[in-house]
Structure 1
Amino acid sequence: MTHNPPDYELADRLALTGPDQVKAIGHPLRTTILQLLHERAATVSELAQAVGRPKSTVAHHVEVLTRNGLTRVVRTRRVRAVEERFYGRTARMFFVAAEASPAGEGLPGDFNDFEVAARESATAFEQGRLWGFIRHARVTEDQASRFWQRMVELVDEFDRMPRSGATTYGFAVGLYPTSGPFLVSAQSPQDQGGSTGSSNSPGR
């Protein structure tokens, strides 16, 4: 059985404008909770069962996410005398706005998605099931920005894929400046003092 995720309405993108929001999304367990909510809305009990953690622990982290505007109650259901709350994300994609990282504060240490991907992918690498590429190119900032927008669209496509099967796949994508080497622009033969005509030198 497949379905298009999630089963509730949410915004496409949401800017994180405060350091508390950035810290909230940076915690590994909270990141996992947000990933699960890409599939469908869930109760604290369902989330606790999925991640194998105590309900009280998960409830605390859901409360942090909700307080910072990253999750919200999307519907309720009364079971006997108890009202169950189903939580959902407030947006498909969160991104950090410039004002969220004041000078000297920066992002939390565990916010690096590549660090998470490296840990998660270790077993797949050992099993020969890791697909990955890394490329380096000397481009302008505008070119990098336009290319990244295409990656954002690809991530959104991945998030919207129908849920099916019994395996959860990780998809990591990133774009970052490096101090890697590059070749200077090639010079023409004239610039190098060479000639473009045929040579009279004997062949070898």
Structure 2
Amino acid sequence: MTVDTGPPDYDLADRIALTSPAQVKALSHPLRTTILHLLHERAATVSELAGALERPKSTVAHHVKVLYEAGLVRVVRTRRVRAIEERFYGRTARLFYVSVERAADGEDMPRDFNDFEVAARESSDAFHRGKLWGFIRHARISEEQASEFWERMAELVAGFDRLPRSGDTMYGFAVGVYPTDQPTLPEAGQASTSPT
């Protein structure tokens, strides 16, 4: 499915499942995830990305190549500048997700990145400046309900991605659903089994 409303300035799929360890590993480097975030704004050249990231062009070119080979970015257009053809890269999807616990070849999918770890790191300064808005809630629900709720959250994320770009500040938005070891109350009317 291709979506062409809202940012960025090129067509891309709504979601793509990551089915190989190489794809997941490509997302595990913080510079590569930042490149993908920048490409939510618009398509960009390696030179533009290097300028925004304040990194050497060769470093950024390497990371763009890793993303390209993993199928996470693609060339969305080109332009001639003097004798050189400039490539503009864009994401292949708004949302990437790990689809299976094991890759097709039986290899375990890596778990070497955590969006909440990134969000915690990014939000630390905002917290100290009193600019962090957040909630955490716990609910005893079935796995099916959790999955249905996650689909609704994915729609909210898609809406955030499509907001018109304006202002000078980049805001982060983190959302997740995960099992915890939080205690639960017994059903009403059941005898308590707590020690005396």
TM-score, normalised relative to structure 1: 0.87
CA RMSD of aligned residues (A): 1.9
1:26 aligns with 2:28: yes
Tell me which stretches of 4 or more aligned residues in structure 1 moved more than 3 Å: 99-106
Matches within 5 A, 1:46-195: 46-98=48-100, 99-100=102-103, 105-109=108-112, 111-187=113-189
Q: Which has the larger radius of gyration?
A: 1
Higher relative contact order (CA 8 A, sep 6+): 1
1:128-169 deviations in whole A, cap 9, x for unaligned?
A: 000000001110111111111100000000011110000000
Match of residue 199 from structure 1? none
Structure 2 distance, partners of 1:101, 1:28, is 26
Q: What 5-or-longer segments of structure 2 have no aligned partner? A: none
> How many Å apart are 1:105 and its aligned residue?
3.6
Q: Does the 8 Å CA contact 1:13/1:92 hold for their aligned counterparts?
A: yes
> How many Å apart are 1:101 and its aligned residue?
9.0
Pick closer, same or farther for the CA change 1:144–1:164 going to 2, 3 Å.
Answer: same
- How many positions carry a matched residue from both structures? 187
Q: Does the 8 Å CA contact 1:101/1:107 hold for their aligned counterparts?
A: no
> How many Å apart are 1:102 and its aligned residue?
7.9
Q: Specify the SS of the correspondent of 2:27.
A: helix
Match of residue 35 from structure 1? 37
1:46-73 deviations in whole A, cap 9, x for unaligned?
A: 0000111100000000000000100000
Structure 2 distance, partners of 1:14, 1:36, is 18
TM-score, normalised relative to structure 2: 0.90
Structure 2 distance, partners of 1:32, 1:20, is 18
1:164-188 deviations in whole A, cap 9, x for unaligned?
A: 0000000000110011100010018
> How many Å apart are 1:104 and its aligned residue?
7.5
- 1:118 maps to a residue whose letter is A
